[in-house]
Amino acid sequence: MSFEIDLAGRTALVTGAGQHIGRAIACALARAGAKVVVNDIVAERANSVVKEIEEAGGQGLAALFDVTDPQGVHSSIDSLAPDILVNNVGNTGAGNPPGQATFDTSHFVKSDPASWDALFGVNLFGVMHCTRAALPAMIERSWGRVITIISDAARVPERGMAAYAAAKAGAAGFSRALASEVGRSGVTVNCVSLGTIQSEHVQPGRNDERYRKILKPYLVPRLGQPSDPASLVVFLASGYADWITGQTYPVNGGYSPSL
C-alpha cells in the first residue's frame, strides 16, 4: 500500500520557478500530476524547467512576467486561472538575474531606504499582485490554494535582514488575514518558512568555515535541499490539506522551533 497525492486536473503557477527552490516545487507539482506554469523573468531559466518537466512526462508551460508589474501579472494570470498559486519568488540576491541589485546586508541603521523598495516589491507586493490576480477564478470555482514561501528571517532575529524580514513577515500577515476572507470560498492560504537551503553559493566543501557557522543552530545538522519545501508544498496543494489554512509551517531542520 502506498500514499499518493494526485493533482491531475489542477493547474499550478509557481513564481520565480526558473531555478533552485521554485524549480524543485514546480517539478514536484508536475510529478504529482498538475499542469505547471513556470514563471520567471529570465526566459532561459523558465524554459529549461519546462523542458525538464516535459522530459519527465509532465505538463509545463512558461509564463514570463515580472511579479512586481501588476499589468504583466494580470495579463498572464487572468487567462491562466491557476487552481494553485505558489508565491515562491524572492530576491535575496544569490540567484538574482543579471542586472538586478543584490541584497543589501548592511545593518538597518546604515541601509539606504532606496534598497528597501526592491525587497518589498518582490517579497510582499509581488505576492499580493499575483494573489489578487489568481483569487477571482479560485473563488468562482470554490477551490483554490495560495502557498507563499517566506523565510525564517521573518521569524528569528537576524542581523542585516531587517528590511527583508519585514517584507517576508508582511507576506505572512497578509496570508493570515486573507485566509479569513476566503476560507468560506474553499480557498486555503498558507506560508512555508525556510531555513537556509543548499545552493551553489552555500554548500559543504566550499566555504567550509562559513558552512559550519551557518549549520550550528540546526538541530538536523545539514542544510535544506530544495526538495524539502517542495514536498510540503505538494501536500498543502492537495485535498489532504483541505482543513489547513492561515498557518505558517517552518521547513528548517529545527533552526527555529514553533508551538
The set of catalytic residues is: 164
**Per this entry, what is the length of the chain?**
259
Provide φ and ψ at 160, rounded to 5°.
80, 10
Q: How far apart are CB 185 and ligand NAD at their closest, in Å?
A: 26
39: its cell numbers: 514563471
Q: Does 92 bind ligand NAD (CB under 6 A)?
A: yes
For residue 253 the three cell numbers come to: 531542520
Question: Exactly one of 11, 76, 131, 151 binds ligand NAD (CB under 6 A); which one?
Answer: 151
Beta carbons within 8 Å of 50's beta carbon, 6+ residues apart: 38, 60, 61, 62
**95 scored as a contact of ligand NAD (CB under 6 A):** yes
Collapsed DSSP state (helix, strand, coil) of residue 205: coil
Identified binder of ligand NAD from the candidate list 11, 68, 131, 248, rule CB under 6 A: 68
According to DSSP, residue 110 is labeled G
Residues 23-42 vs ligand NAD: string with x where CB under 6 A?
A: ----------------xxxx
**Judged by CB under 6 A, which stretch of 63-71, 210-218, 230-238, 240-248 contacts ligand NAD?**
63-71
Cell of 57: 512526462
Question: With binding defined as CB under 6 A, does residue 94 bind ligand NAD?
Answer: yes
Count of residues interacting with ligand NAD (CB under 6 A): 32
Question: Mask of contacts with ligand NAD, 189-228, x by CB under 6 A?
Answer: -----x-xx-x-----------------------------
Beta bridge partners of 104: none
Nearer to ligand NAD, 14 or 137 (CB): 14
Least Cβ distance, residue 126 to ligand NAD (angstroms): 6
Edge-first strand listing for the sheet containing 187-194 = 59-64, 35-40, 11-14, 84-87, 144-151, 187-194, 248-251
Choice between 97 and 254, CB closer to ligand NAD: 97
Spatial neighbors of 233 by CB under 8 A, at least 6 apart, are 25, 28, 29, 86, 147, 192
Q: Which of 193, 67, 65, 192 is nearest to 119 (CA)?
A: 67
Please tell me whether residue 20 binds ligand NAD under the rule CB under 6 A.
yes
Which of residues 58 and 90 has its CB atom nearest to ligand NAD in the complex? 90
Please state, in angstroms and rounded to a whole number, the distance separating the CA atoms of residues 33 and 6.
6
Q: Which of 149, 234, 237, 251 binds ligand NAD (CB under 6 A)?
A: 149
Give me the residues that bind ligand NAD (CB under 6 A), please.
15-16, 18-22, 39-42, 45, 66-68, 88-92, 94-97, 122, 126, 149, 151, 194, 196-197, 199
